[in-house]
Structure 1
Amino acid sequence: MPVTDISTDAENLTMTLTADFAAPVSRLWSAFTDPRQLERFWGPPGWPARFTAFDLRPGGRVDYAMTSPQGESSRGAWEVLSVTDGTGFDVLDSFVDPDGNPMEAFPAMRMTFAFDATDAGSRLTNVTYFTSAEALEQVVAMGAIEGSRMAMNQLDAVLLSLREYAQGKGTRTELLDDQHVRITRLIEGPRELVWRAHHEPELMQQWLLGPDGWQMVECKLGETYRYMWQQGDDESTRFGFEGETVLSEPTWRAVTTERMIGMDAPGTLNDLQLYEEDGATLLTLVIEYADKDMRDMILATGMTEGMETSYARLEAVLAGV
């Protein structure tokens, strides 16, 4: 993981994050100064950022919003104080309301970003300066340390091209914490087609099948959905899932609930995000479970292997669309 240290200094009212990357400073700089790249890691998993204004020059302003799977929004703005091309910049970071006005309950914080060369590549040093001990404690209590760590640990995937990062590795499952896992898979095909394949029944029934020999016999989509599968012609094997759409931002993000039909067990919250580069799409699915036991029980069913079979089939379907 890139982040090597996050520390707070109550005397100097600072929080310092240090992260090392196997990439040159120029590549790290471009990731922080291109809003489309910055969106891929600025928010932690489950709270991705969208930048609506990006004027990174002294006196300029940057506006962004991070949105939770439930649609809650946390908005921020940078007042750009200084920029040293290629090596760093300083901003005044504020929580803002939907109209872009600073929120009085959350004091603004000065943030410095420094990019330095190392023998192995480059280093990010990010220092946040607070106006009081209370402000520092407030931000830490809001989960800033773990949120920053999880956000910056996503940067490795951005510094490489999508194919360098993911191709040939198949479907990967990462444990984020006791309740969350992240599934990633590179899909050869444009984002629009990958989105359609998740939202058009005639396409979905061709690939979302799991092991060979199974068929999707019911596929109803909309604000609510319902899927049913069975093995061959044996109706006794039939099972399925149902849920609701919580958030939909075509063709980038879809958040849905999921529960097994006829079971009393708690369901999951599934956050699907798609990023395209050079004709390939990185599919990221963050799944929230009720607890660790439920997470481990479902992973033990061979979920990752079953998803890989379906995603490989998806690529073949997209090739023919």
Structure 2
Amino acid sequence: MPVISATPDLDNLTLTITAEFAAPVDRVWQIYADPRQLEQIWGPPTYPATFVDFEFAPGGQARYFMTSPEGEKFGGWWKFTAIDPTSSLAFDDGFADADLNPVDGMPVSTNLFEFTAIDTGTRAVYTSTYASAADLDKVLEMGVVEGASLSINQIDAFLAA
């Protein structure tokens, strides 16, 4: 399994997930830079993602929804704040309504995804920072660790296909 650790830190308002993939950094990077590839791994296996907008550049935005097995849609949005090709990407991430507009009152996280080469392929460190312990606690209660781990753990199979 690619995920090797998931560490919530209520003192520092962060959730850090570390994963390792049996593929070179540039190949793992391509998944996050291409919305059609990202759709294959974003969200748990039974909640496939559809990216409606995807402007992969600083200041650009992405809007997407995940669809449950029952057909219910759950929206999200990103605003890219920094991109260092093959090394890292940073973005704000939040919940969206049915029209894919940000939902007031729901947690927004600031995310940094970092990719480094290791002997066996790629190490990815995904760090999400929240505005408050209450926001982090809320997403933890919603199952963010389980959902993110299920999503990330799809990457090796996707790369092997």
TM-score range, shorter chain: over 0.9
Contact 2:51 2:64 in 1 (8 A): yes
Larger Rg: 1
Aligned to 2:143: 143
Aligned to 1:20: 20
Specify the code of the residue in structure 2 equivalent to 1:20: E
Alignment deviations for residues 110-153 of structure 1 (CA, whole Å, 9 cap, x no partner) = 11110100011111100000010100010000011111111110
Aligned to 1:64: 64
TM-score, normalised to structure 2, is 0.97
Partners in 2 of 1:150 and 1:108 — Cα distance?
21
Aligned to 1:29: 29
Partners in 1 of 2:62 and 2:101 — Cα distance?
13
Aligned to 2:97: 97
Partners in 1 of 2:90 and 2:67 — Cα distance?
25
Q: How many residues align?
A: 161
Aligned to 1:49: 49
Aligned to 2:112: 112
Partners in 2 of 1:152 and 1:54 — Cα distance?
20
**How big is the shift at 1:159?**
1.7
Q: Which runs of 4 or more aligned residues in structure 1 lie more than 3 Å from their structure 2 counterparts after TM superposition?
A: none
Specify the code of the residue in structure 2 equivalent to 1:118: I
Partners in 1 of 2:15 and 2:5 — Cα distance?
10
Partners in 2 of 1:152 and 1:99 — Cα distance?
26
1:159 and 2:144 equivalent? no
**How big is the shift at 1:98?**
2.1
Q: 1:148 aligns to what SS in structure 2?
A: helix
Taking the TM superposition and a 5 Å limit, the aligned residue runs for 1:166-205 are: none
5+ unaligned residues in a row in structure 2: which ranges?
none
Partners in 1 of 2:67 and 2:115 — Cα distance?
28
Partners in 1 of 2:110 and 2:70 — Cα distance?
29
Contact 1:31 1:159 in 2 (8 A): no
Alignment deviations for residues 209-245 of structure 1 (CA, whole Å, 9 cap, x no partner) = xxxxxxxxxxxxxxxxxxxxxxxxxxxxxxxxxxxxx
TM-score, normalised to structure 1, is 0.49
Aligned to 1:10: 10
Specify the code of the residue in structure 2 equivalent to 1:135: D
Partners in 2 of 1:101 and 1:54 — Cα distance?
14
Identity %: 43
5+ unaligned residues in a row in structure 1: which ranges?
163-321
Partners in 2 of 1:35 and 1:61 — Cα distance?
12
Specify the code of the residue in structure 1 equivalent to 2:123: R
Partners in 2 of 1:70 and 1:105 — Cα distance?
26
**How big is the shift at 1:104?**
1.2
Partners in 1 of 2:130 and 2:154 — Cα distance?
25
Q: 1:69 aligns to what SS in structure 2?
A: coil
Alignment deviations for residues 64-108 of structure 1 (CA, whole Å, 9 cap, x no partner) = 100101111110010010100111110000111122321112121
Partners in 2 of 1:113 and 1:158 — Cα distance?
19
Alignment deviations for residues 269-299 of structure 1 (CA, whole Å, 9 cap, x no partner) = xxxxxxxxxxxxxxxxxxxxxxxxxxxxxxx
Alignment deviations for residues 193-216 of structure 1 (CA, whole Å, 9 cap, x no partner) = xxxxxxxxxxxxxxxxxxxxxxxx
Partners in 2 of 1:100 and 1:150 — Cα distance?
23
Contact 1:51 1:63 in 2 (8 A): yes
Q: Which structure has the higher relative contact order (CA within 8 Å, separation 6+)?
A: 2
Contact 1:81 1:90 in 2 (8 A): yes
Partners in 2 of 1:109 and 1:142 — Cα distance?
14
